[in-house]
Structure 1
Amino acid sequence: MTHWNDTDLTRAGAAEELDLESERADGTLRDRVTMWVVRVGDHLYVRSVKGTAGPWYRGTQSRRQGRVSAGGVRQDVTFRPADHDEYAAVDTAYREKYGRYPGIVEHVLTDRARESTLRLEPR
């Protein structure tokens, strides 16, 4: 597993939004989707409001890799399902970063959304 360098981790983790492009089975990139991103320790995470049934999430499952852009950082990544023991810290990160949107942030804190938590690992 490759790790984020400190500068890219800080910039991407502080970005308000992240653009994600997942790879199709043939290696081409799907259309970009914009979403929230949070940092926990040395990792970046994203979640689907619609859970594992969400279209962009399903798109990440064919090759489990793609490209993300946030905070001026553009990086090819592997999409790794987060472990259940990571969910609480990711919940906290979403509340802290996006809590000023109380009616919206709750949508990424549901059990359905938690099941779609992906850790973004640079490659």
Structure 2
Amino acid sequence: MATTVVLNGRRSVTVPTWSKDELSKIAEADDLHISPFRDDGVTYGTPTWIWSVAVDDALYVRGYNGQKSRWYQAAVRQKSGRIIAAGMTKDVSFEPVDGPINDRIDDAYRAKYQSSSYLRPMISARARAATVKIVPRDTRS
């Protein structure tokens, strides 16, 4: 799926988005593996299992070890890679996130992972500083 966004009232760009079905399946799953590209920009990194949450129509993840998380550093540096979640493999882009949306992401983590002893670190300032939005990439040629 894609959404058309108009910039400055003149130029429009088509931005890939998750389908409601895809996002719902990923949001309900507990099996997201993230693989940012390696430094060569071609080879996928070793898949790392991480938590994910959906807020509105977007998918978010955080680094448990904050910005020191290896996958986070690779995602920010390479800006793209792949995820495997809910039986799907998707080519994606990574966008660092900051600002008020983090409060809503915290709420989503609390709702999804409320019984886990790992919840507290995932809503800490350290993890919030390593929040990433995952956007599907349009891989059509």
Work out the percentage of aligned pairs sharing the same amino acid. 32
Partner in structure 1 of residue 11 of structure 2: none
- The aligned runs of 1:50-89 (5 Å cut-off) are 50-89=65-104
CA-CA distance at 1:17 after TM superposition: 2.5
CA-CA distance at 1:53 after TM superposition: 1.1
Q: Does 1:114 align with 2:114?
A: no
Max Rg structure: 2
Q: Does 1:93 align with 2:108?
A: yes
Q: Distance in 2 between matches of 1:24 and 1:38?
A: 24
Match of 2:35 among 10, 21, 35: 21
Q: Which has the higher helix share?
A: 1
CA-CA distance at 1:31 after TM superposition: 0.4
Q: Which has the higher strand share?
A: 2
- DSSP 3-state at the match of 2:92: strand
Structure 1: 5+ residue stretches without partners: none
Contact conserved, 2:53 with 2:105, CA < 8 A, in 1? yes
TM-score, normalization by structure 2? 0.83
Match of 1:38 among 53, 64, 74: 53
Q: Distance in 1 between matches of 2:69 and 2:39?
A: 18
Give the counterpart letter for 1:106 in structure 2: R
Contact conserved, 2:98 with 2:129, CA < 8 A, in 1? no
> What is the RMSD of the two structures over their aligned residues, measured on CA atoms?
1.0
Contact conserved, 1:46 with 1:119, CA < 8 A, in 2? yes
Give the counterpart letter for 2:38 in structure 1: R
TM-score, normalization by structure 1? 0.94
- The count of aligned residue pairs is 122
- The aligned runs of 1:4-19 (5 Å cut-off) are 4-19=18-33
Q: Distance in 2 between matches of 1:83 and 1:73?
A: 27
